[in-house]
Amino acid sequence: MEMLDPLLHQPLRTQLAAFLAGAGEATFSELKRQLDVSDGNLDSHLKKLIAADYVNVRKDDSAARTQTCYALSPTGRAALQNYILALQKLLTMDNPEPSAPAKRRETKMKAA
């Protein structure tokens, strides 16, 4: 069985990676607003994703105030895809024999 990525298995980091996968890029403020988290919590999780090379950081100084922009790296995108595949495998594991309670329910439904 494929292992779930422990870095992405934390719910907020999964949400961060999924949001960035869809958005392409987001500022710290956008991430904070979309995910409804505190500055410290978001910063802590972003640092872990950046250290693992799952997220790239870019400084945008085109506006009056410099903004930090975050994007999922190719490594992060691959890790998220693998994580999703591993979850799907867990959800669709073939169970050749239904459990005894499931068999009883099937029998009762057929008889009705």
Q: Pairing mode, if any, of strands 26-27 and 67-72?
A: antiparallel
4 found inside a domain = no
6 found inside a domain = no
Structure tokens at 80: 């998220």
User: Exposed (0-12), middle (13-18) or buried (19+): which is 16, by Cβ within 10 Å?
Assistant: buried
43 found inside a domain = yes
**Rounded CA gap, 49 and 43, in Å?**
10
86 found inside a domain = yes
Per-block mean pLDDT, blocks of 10 residues, the chain (112 long): 81 94 93 94 95 94 84 95 90 62 57 54
Question: pTM of the prediction?
Answer: 0.75
Residue 98 dihedral angles phi and psi, to the nearest 5°: -65, 155
**Are 53 and 70 contacting, i.e. CB atoms less than 8 angstroms apart?**
no
pLDDT score of 104? 57
CATH classification of the domain holding 79: 1.10.10.10
Residue range(s) defining the domain that contains residue 61: 11-111
106 found inside a domain = yes
